[in-house]
Amino acid sequence: MIPPYSYLEPIKLWQYKRPVEISSYVSTGDGSDISKVILMYRYSADNRTWSEWKVYDEEVFTGSYTWFFDPEEGDGYYQVRLISYDSAGNSAESTINFGITILPQKEIIIMLSMFVILLISSAIVSRELA
């Protein structure tokens, strides 16, 4: 019996937007139908100590599929594993690693606004003193 084939497309080491798009491909090995495809992940804040594997989603498909990965842990390192099972009980898996860091957009906008206000205030004060 030939097991199914599972593939996760590698992505950049660091992702800056969420959800992260994870492209996958699953095919049958010997003609048996795919009975289940599971996307699992684990998280690490320091890339050394890892959490237990968690099921992120479960689907049934053959061919290409895009997962929209938006974990609750937020910034940090992730390992993602795709496991496919066929109706004959065979399985195959693929794993990728990457990190997520989200820029604090609200804080950046506030900081830039304050900087613009400071520039305008400085220009007004320097005109009045001149």
For 6: left if phi > 0, alpha if psi spans -120 to 50, otherwise beta; the answer is: beta
Select the more confidently predicted residue: 32 or 26: 26
Please provide the distance, in angstroms rounded to a whole number, between the alpha carbons at the two ends of the chain.
87
- Under DSSP, the state recorded for 75 is S
Report the C-alpha gap between 6 and 27 in whole angstroms: 7
Q: What band does 102 get if pLDDT is binned at 50, 70 and 90? A: confident
For residue 108, is pLDDT > 70?
A: yes
Report the C-alpha gap between 33 and 27 in whole angstroms: 9
Report the C-alpha gap between 77 and 28 in whole angstroms: 31
Mean pLDDT in residue range 2-25: 88
**pTM given for the model:** 0.74
| % of the chain at pLDDT higher than 70 | 95
* Residues forming beta bridges with residue 14, ordered by sequence position: 99
Angstrom CA distances, 71 to 54, 58, 97, stand at: 10, 15, 14
Structure tokens at 120: 């305008």
State the pLDDT at residue 28. 85
For residue 43, is pLDDT > 90?
A: yes
Structural domains of the chain, ranges and CATH numbers in brackets: 5-103 (2.60.40.10)
Q: What band does 104 get if pLDDT is binned at 50, 70 and 90? A: low
For residue 130, is pLDDT > 70?
A: no
